[in-house]
Chains A and B, each alone.
Chain A
Amino acid sequence: MIEYDAEQKRMVLKLVYYGPAMSGKTTNLLKLHDLITQEGRGDLMVLDTTDDRTIFFDLLPFFLVAPSGLKIKVKVYTVPGQVRHDATRKAVLQRADGVVFVADSQLAEAANNFESFDNLEKNLAFVGIDIEKVPLVVQFNKRDLKNVASEEEIARVWGPTGVPVTTASALEGWGVVETFTKLLELTYAAIDRKYRLLEEHGLDGASFVRQMTNVGER
């Protein structure tokens, strides 16, 4: 999955925001870009979304250096939600190290959420990623709206799966950093096991997350 080059002391991680069209993936990245002020946060690239193009996703890159000198680049992508862009979704999902599934909380969107999650399962299998093992967080977005699924209902459906669930209003800007933090924690745990980030590179989970999510005073 992960790209790791011991000689160059470089590691590239890929995190993907998945979900149905219009659930708020791009808005999540926009808010992360606005809220996170750490020095290595790159510019957000929104590869544009006019209607008849096959070619869109967004990219928000981060860069940090571990105490050992290991350079870590984290690339956060969104995928296009529209059904017809499945090829793009597969391409972006390849080699993902972690996934946030952004669901639209509105009751009317339940079917779209379901269909998109189903598509995520299929595509993870397609690119050879085990959904049981990949760090995965589900975000229920648009909590600011009326007619949304209740928290009890969400807990009832997702509780048994053991997948961590967060709630957010990307529009209002809350829950976004929390979701990202959760994903970073899970991702760190998954790669630390394999690449000994703490033992060999002196980078512990808390400071990895802290460095990635340094939220400025605003």
Chain B
Amino acid sequence: MESRQTSNASANRLQFLVGEERGLRDVISEAEVLPLLRGAVRAGAFAAALADAEGKVLWSHAAPDAGEQGGSAGLRGPAILLEGEPVGSVLVKGEQGREEFLKGIAVMLTAAVNLLVGSNLKRMLTTEIHTTVVNQSYEELLETNRKLAASEARYRELAESLEIKVEERTAELKKALARLLQQEKLASVGQLAAGIAHEINNPMGFVTSNIHTMQKYLARFVEMLQFSRDLVAGAPGEAERERFAGKWRQLKLDMVLADVDELVSQSLGGAERVKKIVADLKGFSHIDDLGETVADLNAELDRTLAVLVHEIPPGAEIVREYGTLPGFSCRAGELCQVFLNIIVNACQARNAGLRIVIRTELSGDAIVIAFTDNGPGIPQEFLPRVFEPFFTTRPVGQGMGMGLAVVYDVVTAHGGTVEAGNSPEGGASFVVRLPLSSA
């Protein structure tokens, strides 16, 4: 009976509910949306805006000279959904006659806003339940405290352990929160990138196919031009021949004809490259995988390196000493994140002459992946702390010091271990060991 009363008392004090209703403006902010709108304008729209369900514009961005350009009527994207409810849409304005293009932009912008809404909502829900649970635990602690007061002797004894518990709890919560923040951030950045990559595929499809068609048409133009030239060359009438040749020179058609093929094939090459980047990005984020898959970790390392090309300092040497590995059942996207964090870390070890060796092998019943760089190594006193959240020796602004903490978490969650050390030559080394059995 007594415990029932206690429970009710603390239920009354509970202030947070899970799943509070939210509108569009509660979920996303101007600071998050404006860059997306600016992106749309940079991509070629005159103006872009986000409106709520009633059509009222919440935020907008226009090109500086949009006023003079006039342009098309506003084009509305598909509905933005918040928990299934249509809560707004994007509006895009642009050049008259380019509706298809503007529609593409509107669709892309909508996808980006939807992703933002989804990941923010998830983050809010996580924080919300966290707050609720923490509050409740706090109430429970108070309750314990009150009971303790009843018996002075027991109180003394228990209060000590309670204090330790509170300390432990606080440290634990701090760690959990830090990890959560980082994971959410990684997840949402990855999702956003992958989502946009996905959306880029569609327009890229028609761009590529149109260029192919244009290539065919161009060949016909070229043929017709040459045909006319031959025809005119043989025709009587000196004056006409001279006019034709003059116009030919004025339009620099010799140069154009020599160049046009090259231009088109270069554009096709560029389109192919975009497709490849998108494929790399999607592969890396494993956006299409749910849960565990069987992965070839050598291929995952290659994928990660492909995504990282621009982070690796010029002139750096990456040595891949891959052994033969069996398929490994894992959450591959998370492991890619591990590889990425370790490699990015190594890239910052030294500026010129950087060399990173990545060795993989099957050792007993575990896959071992060793990353060694030729930087200055890790000072002995830091070795025990490198995997702690927020531990960083780099200046403020260069990362939160979360990269290696995430490495530790992910590897541990896969039943593996990761060790930081220094190679005999002096550089830092990270050895990830993933047992085949536990996966």
Q: Which residues of A contact B (CB under 8 A)?
A: 3, 10, 12, 14, 39-43, 45, 47, 50-55, 57, 59, 61-63, 71, 73, 75, 77, 87-88, 90-92, 94-95, 125-128
Contact = CB atoms under 8 A, between A and B. Distances in A.
B129 interface: yes
A73 B126 CA distance: 20
Given A55-B129, A61-B83, A94-B14, 9 more contacts: A45-B121, A57-B129, A59-B125, A73-B84, A77-B18, A88-B129, A91-B136, A95-B17, A126-B11
Contacts of B82: 42
Interface in B208-251: none
A190 B108 CA distance: 43
A87 B83 contact: no
Nearest to B117: A43
Contact of A54 (B21, B83, B133, B140): B133
Given A59-B19, A91-B17, A42 B81 contact: yes
A90 B121 contact: no
Q: Top 4 closest A-B pairs, CB basis?
A: A42-B84, A61-B83, A63-B84, A63-B85
B176 interface: yes
A59 B18 CA distance: 10
Nearest to B123: A47
Contacts of A91: 14, 16-18, 129, 132-133, 136
B19 A77 contact: yes
A90 B136 contact: yes
29 contacts: A3-B21, A10-B21, A12-B21, A14-B19, A45-B121, A47-B129, A51-B413, A53-B180, A55-B133, A55-B176, A62-B84, A73-B83, A73-B84, A75-B19, A77-B19, A88-B129, A88-B133, A90-B136, A91-B14, A92-B18, A92-B19, A94-B14, A94-B17, A125-B4, A125-B7, A126-B7, A126-B11, A128-B8, A128-B11
B137 A55 contact: no
Contacts of B98: none
Contacts of A94: 14, 17-18
A75 B84 CA distance: 10
Contacts of B42: none
B337 to A, nearest CB: 14
B382 to A, nearest CB: 25
A47 B126 contact: yes
Contacts of B435: none
A101 B136 CA distance: 24
B118 interface: yes
A126 B13 CA distance: 12
Interface in B1-24: 4, 7-8, 11, 14, 16-19, 21
A41 B118 CA distance: 14
Chain A interface main SS type: mixed
A62 B133 CA distance: 25
B122 interface: yes
Nearest to B410: A50
Given A42-B81, A75-B19, A50 B413 contact: yes
B130 interface: yes
A55 B18 CA distance: 11
Interface residues on B, range: 20 to 34
Contacts of B176: 52-55
Contacts of A51: 413
A61 B180 CA distance: 23
Contacts of B85: 40, 42, 61, 63, 71, 73
A146 to B, nearest CB: 25
B17 A47 contact: no
A12 B19 CA distance: 10
Contacts of A50: 413
Nearest to A74: B84
- Residue of A39, A45, A128 with highest tally of chain B CB at under 10 A: A45
A91 B137 CA distance: 11
B126 A40 contact: no
A114 to B, nearest CB: 20
A77 B125 CA distance: 12
Contacts of A90: 11, 136
Contacts of A45: 118, 121-122, 125
Contacts of B137: 87
Interface string B303-336: 0000000000000000000000000000000000
A39 B81 CA distance: 10
Contacts of B7: 125-126
Interface in B51-105: 81-85
B186 to A, nearest CB: 12
Contacts of A95: 17
B84 A87 contact: no
A90 B18 CA distance: 10
B51 to A, nearest CB: 18
Contacts of B125: 45, 47, 59
A125 B176 CA distance: 30
A50 B121 CA distance: 20
A71 B85 CA distance: 9
A59 B84 CA distance: 12
Given A88-B129, A88-B133, A42 B18 contact: no
B83 A42 contact: yes
A40 B87 CA distance: 12
Contact of B84 (A40, A47, A92, A126): A40
Given A54-B176, A88-B129, A126 B16 contact: no
B11 A57 contact: no
B291 to A, nearest CB: 10
A125 B6 CA distance: 12
B144 to A, nearest CB: 14
Contacts of A77: 18-19
A73 B14 CA distance: 23
A94 B4 CA distance: 16
Contacts of A128: 8, 11
